[in-house]
Amino acid sequence: MGYYKCPRCGGTDTYKSQETTSYAAMTIDVPGPVDNTLINPNKREITRCRVCDAEAFYTMSNVEAERAKRIFRPILIALPFVLVGIFIFIVNFL
């Protein structure tokens, strides 16, 4: 199983948190004494280092890396042939 590692201090003691990336606000016309602005914060879940509070990134174990290579190797081998085929189709028929 992999682990989270801080790029700044190299620590592996982490915790999950949410970070606000942006806000979406909308003003609507409603009668009465109510607030007519709706604010919706866009958040994403991140993993932070407990030591320096920097964002920590996931590091795969060797077993996970080998499994990912085994799964995606056929796709990476076939990809150039598919792209050449698409290019030839576009050139000939457009």
Asked whether residue 49 falls in the same domain as residue 83, the answer is no
Q: What is the pLDDT of residue 1?
A: 76
Residue 81 structural domain = 62-94
CA–CA gap between residue 7 and residue 87 (Å, rounded): 40
Asked whether residue 20 falls in the same domain as residue 46, the answer is yes
Confidence of residue 31 (pLDDT cuts 50, 70, 90): confident
How many beta carbons lie within 10 A of that of residue 56, not counting itself?
25
Tally of domains within the chain: 2
pLDDT, averaged across the chain? 88
Asked whether residue 29 falls in the same domain as residue 17, the answer is yes
What is the value of pTM for the model shown? 0.54
- What is the pLDDT averaged over residues 38-43? 84
Q: Are 47 and 4 in contact (CB under 8 A)?
A: yes
